Structure 1
């Protein structure tokens, strides 16, 4: 597969889970390795919600 010179996003949505835990899950499951053909930036985005529809978000560039 040819290399792609564009940014890539890995987005994970969770319910009632700490955002740090979800970012760790993204890394543990090697999601960024699955899109290694992207030469540009890879951005991890984690959004978690609770029952009150309050949300937290973490964005990390790797």
Structure 2
């Protein structure tokens, strides 16, 4: 009912961020690989994956995921040896819809 309500979305993101701080160190726009990752969450507890987020506006979520991989944003986690999850999120201003693509990544 309120999916496209910006206030509701803001609250959901804010609450998710607060919850994540219990288990992750969160970094915004850190230099990573050949660019800047929008958000990176590094776990402080064992057995949790690190999360790398790329956000797009009026694009597609797949492009965001490809950017994480092509620009090697995971290079900023060279001291981290656990699992990685990439999250690409797009917001389409015209249709007021969000798309998200999530992919597990295994470092070689």
TM range (shorter): 0.7 to 0.9
Matched, 1:56 2:90: no
1:16-35 correspondence to structure 2 within 5 Å: 16-35=58-77
SS of the residue 1:26 aligns to: helix
Paired residues, what number? 59
Find the structure with the greater CA-based Rg. Answer: 2
Q: Any gaps of 5 or more consecutive residues in structure 1?
A: none
Q: Give structure 2 stretches of 5+ with no counterpart.
A: 1-43
Look up the match of 2:82. Answer: 40
Is 1:7–1:39's contact at 8 Å kept on the other side of the alignment?
Answer: no
Give the number of the structure whose residues are more often helix, by fraction: 2
| Length-normalised TM-score, structure 2 | 0.49
Aligned twin of 2:50: 8
Q: Matches of 1:37 and 1:12 in 2, distance apart? A: 21
